[in-house]
Structure 1
Amino acid sequence: MTTKEFSNQLEFTNDGKLSFFFLGAGNAFQKTYFQSNLLVVKGESHVLVDCGTLCPYILEKEYNAKLSKIKNLVLTHPHADHIGGMEELALSAYYISKHPVNIVIPKIFKKKLWNESLKGGIQYSENGKMTFNDYFSELPIKKIQTKPFEMFEANIGSINLKLFRTRHITTRATSFKDSQLSYGIIFDDRILFTGDTQYNPEQINFLLEHFPKIEHIFHDCDVSGYSVGVHASYEQLKLFPQEVRAKMSLYHYNKKMQEVSPEKDGFSGFVQRGVYYEF
């Protein structure tokens, strides 16, 4: 992994490296580190991973980019810090770009996202009653695994994505079926992005075993430990073997991150927003 600092304008293409640019790296309540949404780029292909409440603002004010530049989208789960900017993205696509945003989304998530989150704001327009597909164009996605957890596969240009169900908000449920929908993503079989998740070493170990080319992990991390039933805590993540921690960068943190030293604890470090992580 190499890193490159942001210069003047957010890059939507590159020389073919697999690049991860975190627009923000903080938790849902962070105004300092912003929310954990990121842009993944490879050659001529790009995909925005999540579009939270602050995403449209930070794109323009911090990175000199317009929301209308986003052509491809994938979502991890329906909390506002991950989907709160989608109404603006949808309207930007419809009225400014004049072209739906390409989206990778399992059918069950599409239905819930529209009916429970988006419909109330953008169902009606001066042209009549609108649907999800007036704003978004679904890219092909196929289920590749059912147990021990669902996995889906899709491609956005040259970028391969494998979405896997995660345990984030389980509300004392005993199965994925009764839990909130949430997904992590493996990019090009090389980079594991957990999305918001509880501490789940069994799942991480399964993925590392079945995808041996994984070279880096971007892992959700609650440094304070206050939301341990929803997000993996820093202390929990320290329980991973050294060889796993060494390729783990931590994000979705709060200001408590200033009180710990992840490198001393064997991690790759904390993710920094506004930096290109290139592989």
Structure 2
Amino acid sequence: MLKFLGIGSAFNTTLGNTSAFIKKHCSILLIDCGSTVFSRLQKLGLLSDVSYLYIAITHTHPDHIGSLGELIFYSHYALNCKPRIFFPDAHLLSSILDNMGVNAEFYEILSSPQIKISDEFLSSADLTFIPSSHVERIPSYSILIKCENHSIFYSGDSNKISDSILNSLENGYIDILYQDTCSLDYTGNPHLYIGKLIEYVKPSLRSKICCMHLDQNFERIYAIQSGFNVAEVIKDL
């Protein structure tokens, strides 16, 4: 399953910006690259032997792409590696990177909503980008990942879980669901309040859901007592 470099919300710097990865030998699939992510990759030595770098982006808020430019520069100058970036709106992401001063020749963006990774070490991984309910100003996506006989749903930042996703979870088409979960309940909340998560999900399915993107006041024990899992930040390799 996924390993996490950070599990915090934008302001929860103690837990780091939420970002997950799958690594096999010299290939790595990274989900989001917020402001704290590049430093975490360096601290853990995750990039030292990387030859193939794939980056899936859920949306363009700073806590999800804040150090993407640094990672691309490092890939070019230190790793001699050209990252392949997956995001449905290539024009939006490339314009942001251009304004960061990142040379477009240093990376490749694949903007199809359905991506198939064929990699010597990651084997075959299929990614499907699904529009999520987050904010109106920018496009946001959840990602369905099928890899090594596992099916993973990664919500990105989202204040809802659709009935179709819950049905897929219940019927075994999705093995685990990583869900943006917060402690705050207010009108227009772009994240999913833990109380609503409890309302949405029947007790028998809660063990298949892992909470992430946690704010400072999130009560881990309450989520666990309610039957959910909570993502853990990887400490070392």
TM-score range, shorter chain: 0.7 to 0.9
TM superposition outliers: structure 1 runs of 4+ over 6 Å: none
Q: Distance in 2 between matches of 1:156 and 1:224?
A: 40
Aligned to 1:187: 145
Aligned to 1:88: 70
Aligned to 1:113: 93
Structure 1 vs Structure 2: percent identity of aligned residues? 23
Does structure 1 residue 137 correspond to structure 2 residue 105? no
Aligned to 1:65: 46
Aligned to 1:98: 80
- Residue by residue, what CA displacement relative to the aligned partner does 1:135-156 show, whole Å, maximum 9, x if unpaired? 21245x645xxxxxxxx34325
1:225 to 185, 208, 211: 185
Q: Give the Å deviation of 1:99.
A: 2.9
Q: Distance in 2 between matches of 1:156 and 1:29?
A: 36
Does structure 1 residue 38 correspond to structure 2 residue 17? no
Is residue 23–residue 34 contact of structure 1 (8 Å, CA) maintained in 2?
A: yes
Aligned to 2:194: 234
Aligned residue pair count: 227
Q: Which ranges in structure 2 are unaligned for 5 or more consecutive residues?
A: none
Is residue 196–residue 231 contact of structure 1 (8 Å, CA) maintained in 2?
A: yes
1:116-195 alignment runs, 5 A limit: 117-123=96-102, 130-131=103-104, 134-139=105-110, 142-143=112-113, 152-157=114-119, 158=123, 159-170=125-136, 180-188=138-146, 190-195=151-156
Q: Residue 243 and residue 45 in structure 1: after superposition, are their counterparts in 2 closer, same or farther (change >3 A)?
A: farther
Q: Distance in 2 between matches of 1:32 and 1:111?
A: 33
TM, length-normalised to structure 1: 0.72
- Residue by residue, what CA displacement relative to the aligned partner does 1:240-274 show, whole Å, maximum 9, x if unpaired? 1122222101011123223642222121x211111
Q: Residue 228 and residue 207 in structure 1: after superposition, are their counterparts in 2 closer, same or farther (change >3 A)?
A: farther
Moved more, 94-103 or 27-36: 94-103
Q: Residue 42 and residue 184 in structure 1: after superposition, are their counterparts in 2 closer, same or farther (change >3 A)?
A: farther
- Give secondary structure in 2 for the equivalent of 1:200: coil
Is residue 155–residue 178 contact of structure 2 (8 Å, CA) maintained in 1?
A: yes
- Give secondary structure in 1 for the equivalent of 2:77: helix
TM, length-normalised to structure 2: 0.84
Q: Which ranges in structure 1 are unaligned for 5 or more consecutive residues?
A: 1-18, 124-129, 144-151, 171-178
Q: Distance in 2 between matches of 1:162 and 1:89?
A: 23
Q: Give the Å deviation of 1:48.
A: 0.6
Using CA pairs under 8 Å that are at least 6 residues apart, name the structure with larger relative contact order, 1 or 2. Answer: 1
